[in-house]
């Protein structure tokens, strides 16, 4: 889901820093839930669920479902399911499937030493440049200039600027969040609480702005409706 600006690293010197603890964005209920809005209409959902395996690795399961229609006519369909495994702040493996409006895309990589090795729709060699994927839960996302696309495996070169502190409404009340803007290979605006939790984001499909806003977990569709075909 996609200007030369100062790095967000510079934000740490002007009061716009957020937590660098890679686990700080995980809520107590171990699930992040969002609705996806276009023209003030709900067009999809996103869910991120967190658990641990027997070795103590963090498992992150991510589901995204966007369905744009004009009446009964489908305009755009996006389905994404991925599983990431993390250990001590390092991405250990990433496996994803995406139906990007009829185009099938995937990533299947795992860590071997200092490299992430495997394949993706747009990568067939070892990946060593970026350790942070585009799943957004890790607040260190905004301290990078290279990111790993969880959709197709590309390395994305970005400039990130911290714009200021804003109050964002959430199901649990207003939250003070730092607004960041990404430019380059990935263009979006994203808000994190000072504690490091992903609060909201916006991006464009064509000229239309899409908003990803937090909702209660109970607002999400049942999991079986999120499975890819």
Residues 53-99: pLDDT tens digits?
A: 999 999 999 999 998 877 777 778 899 999 999 999 999 999 999 99
**pLDDT at 62 (0 to 100):** 96
CA atoms within 13 A on the CB side of 121: 14
**pLDDT at 224 (0 to 100):** 67
Give phi and psi for 13, each to the nearest 5. -95, -5
Place of tokens 């504690």: 195
Question: How many CB atoms are located within 10 Å of the residue 32 CB?
Answer: 24
Cβ contacts of 28 within 8 Å, gap of 6 or more: none
The answer as to whether 76 is a domain residue is yes
The answer as to whether 228 is a domain residue is no
Read off the pLDDT of residues 197-214 as tens digits, 9 standing for 90 and up.
999 999 998 888 999 999
The answer as to whether 210 is a domain residue is yes
The answer as to whether 178 is a domain residue is yes
Q: pLDDT-derived band of residue 225, with 50, 70 and 90 as boundaries?
A: low
Read off the pLDDT of residues 156-197 as tens digits, 9 standing for 90 and up.
999 999 999 999 999 999 999 999 999 999 999 999 999 999
∠ CA 81-159-178, nearest 5°, is 75
CA gyration radius for the chain? 17
Q: With 50 as the cut, is the pLDDT of residue 15 above it?
A: yes
The reply to whether the predicted model has a pTM over 0.85 is yes
The answer as to whether 226 is a domain residue is no
The answer as to whether 15 is a domain residue is yes
Domain span holding position 175:
8-221
Residue 148: which CATH number? 2.50.20
């Amino acid at each position: 889901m996609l200007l030369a600006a100062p790095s967000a690293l510079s934000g740490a010197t002007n009061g716009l820093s957020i937590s660098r603890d890679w686990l700080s964005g995980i809520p107590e209920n171990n699930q992040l839930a969002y609705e996806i809005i276009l023209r003030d209409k709900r067009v999809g959902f996103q869910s991120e669920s967190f658990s641990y395996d027997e070795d103590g690795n963090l498992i992150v399961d991510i589901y995204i479902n966007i369905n744009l229609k004009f009446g009964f006519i489908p305009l755009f369909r996006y389905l994404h399911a991925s599983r990431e495994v993390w250990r001590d702040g390092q991405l250990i493996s990433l496996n994803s499937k995406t139906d990007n409006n009829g185009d099938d895309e995937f990533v299947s990589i795992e860590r071997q030493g200092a490299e992430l090795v495997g394949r993706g729709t747009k990568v067939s060699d070892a990946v060593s440049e970026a350790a942070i994927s585009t799943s957004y839960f890790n607040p260190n996302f905004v301290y990078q200039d290279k990111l790993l696309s969880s959709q197709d495996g590309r390395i994305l070169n970005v400039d990130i600027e911290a714009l200021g502190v804003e109050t964002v409404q959430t199901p649990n009340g207003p939250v003070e969040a730092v607004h960041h803007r990404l430019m380059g290979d990935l263009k979006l605006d994203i808000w994190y609480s000072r504690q490091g939790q992903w609060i909201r984001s916006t991006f464009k499909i064509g000229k239309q702005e899409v908003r990803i806003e937090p909702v209660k977990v109970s607002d999400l569709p049942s999991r079986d409706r999120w499975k890819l075909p």
